[in-house]
Chains A and B, each alone.
Chain A
Amino acid sequence: MKSEDWPWQHSFPPFFTVQPNLHTRSLQVSAWTSLVLKYHRICSQYVLDIQEAKSTLFTNPSIERTLSEEGINLVMSALVSSKNAEPIDKYRTRFYIYWHTLEEWAAILSSWATDSGHSGSVCTLYELINTPNQEFTGMHQEVLIKVIKVLEARNEAELILMDDNNGVKFF
């Protein structure tokens, strides 16, 4: 991320300390969740590794500050609650980050399929991931599968997972 992409709070040392005042803490966590989503959207990343993030996203070396373990837990819990994150493993060390919720991604993908004339036809997952100039370009395959399952529940698509052939049929 460029320096101007970081919010003003990122250079404010108390931002990295869990605030005792509940109202202030609420604002703090809200600012952190926005930052996490923005970071992943700009970097086109779909997976957050807590240990790795401690030296990148959750730290500001210029003011020698890192968000505490407690702070990180608060932020991740808030993201999970708003359905913008999902733990990948039971140890909660890695998370899928959804800067659009899965429902929103499903709407985006469905709209693209209709607009580009893919209704009634099959596509490979690789083909979708490498579609140029789309918001979902380069999407993590596991996240894409989750998005398609949302569409499947709406009867707008059907996931095809055969031995060596992964794809989707849009309706």
Chain B
Amino acid sequence: MGNLFGKKKVSRVTEHDKAVLQVKQQRDKLKQYQIKIEQKLENERLLAKKLLTSGQRERAKLLLKKKRYQENLLEKTDGQLENLEKMIQDLEFAQVEVKVVAGLKIGNEALKSLNEVLNIDEIERIMDETKEGIEKQKEINDLLNGKLTDEDEEDIEKEYNELLKLEEEEISKQLPEVPAIEPELPATDSVEKEKYKEKVNEKPKRIALEAA
């Protein structure tokens, strides 16, 4: 009753999926058949051994003949299994190809619609306008460069003069520093001598500790 009013599930399983499933199912059945025959062969091999030990040679030979026939069938199923596997792979690859083609188609449609937007006449007009704009810009640049040249030169000379002054000041500052270095030297020497005395004093203490 619920199904009458409720929405039915929209299946995402395609006919292609069902086809692949059927082929796979057939492959599975072949595999199971092979397992069955292999077990049968093993049983008959054991039975043949028993018959031989009990002296029934003719019966054993007949059984081995039957076994041989089963083995031939097994080889045939191997071939069939291989065919089925190949078909499954082909089906799956075909599905991939379908998706690739669909992708290309969509891309192609998108490309077409973009190309339609870009009209050739319109492009030429845009290019011409761009060209004119560039030419105008060049003229403006030329004019401005010519006028500003004199001003730029004056600014450059000012900066150059300022740099020269700064260098002279730096040179004069460095000169007085030289005498300051000399008085410090004896001070460092005395400090080093004091450190040496301390080290000498430490040694007797160590000797005393060792004696204790």
Contacts and interface: CB of A to CB of B under 8 A. Distances in A.
Contacts of B32: 126
A93 B28 CA distance: 33
Contacts, number: 40
B25 A122 contact: no
A166 B18 CA distance: 10
B17 A169 contact: yes
Interface in B1-50: 11-13, 17-18, 20-22, 24-25, 28, 31-32
B20 to A, nearest CB: 5
B75 interface: no
Contacts of A122: 13, 17, 20-21, 24
A82 interface: no
Contacts of B25: 124, 126, 164-167
A130 B24 CA distance: 13
A127 B28 CA distance: 7
B92 interface: yes
A171 B131 CA distance: 55
The size class of the interface chain B forms with chain A is 10 to 19
Contact of A169 (B12, B28, B31): B12
A48 to B, nearest CB: 27
Contacts of A158: 11-13
Interface residues of A, number: 15
A121 interface: yes
Contacts of A166: 25
A69 to B, nearest CB: 40
Contacts of A127: 24, 28
A135 B5 CA distance: 41
Interface string B50-67: 000000000000000000
A47 interface: no
Nearest to A125: B28
A158 B31 CA distance: 25
B28 A126 contact: yes
A162 B22 CA distance: 10
A160 interface: yes
A123 interface: yes
A115 B17 CA distance: 20
Contact of B24 (A162, A167, A171): A167
B24 A160 contact: no
Nearest to B17: A122
B12 A167 contact: no
Contacts of A126: 25, 28, 31-32
Given A123-B24, A127-B24, A160-B17, 12 more contacts: A121-B92, A122-B17, A122-B20, A122-B24, A124-B25, A124-B28, A126-B28, A158-B11, A160-B13, A162-B21, A167-B21, A171-B12
Identify the 8 closest CB pairs spanning chains A and B, nearest first: A126-B28, A167-B21, A124-B24, A165-B25, A122-B17, A122-B21, A165-B21, A169-B13
Interface of A: 121-124, 126-127, 158, 160, 162, 164-167, 169, 171
17 contacts: A121-B20, A121-B92, A126-B25, A126-B32, A127-B24, A158-B12, A160-B13, A160-B17, A160-B21, A162-B18, A162-B21, A165-B21, A165-B25, A167-B21, A167-B24, A167-B25, A169-B17
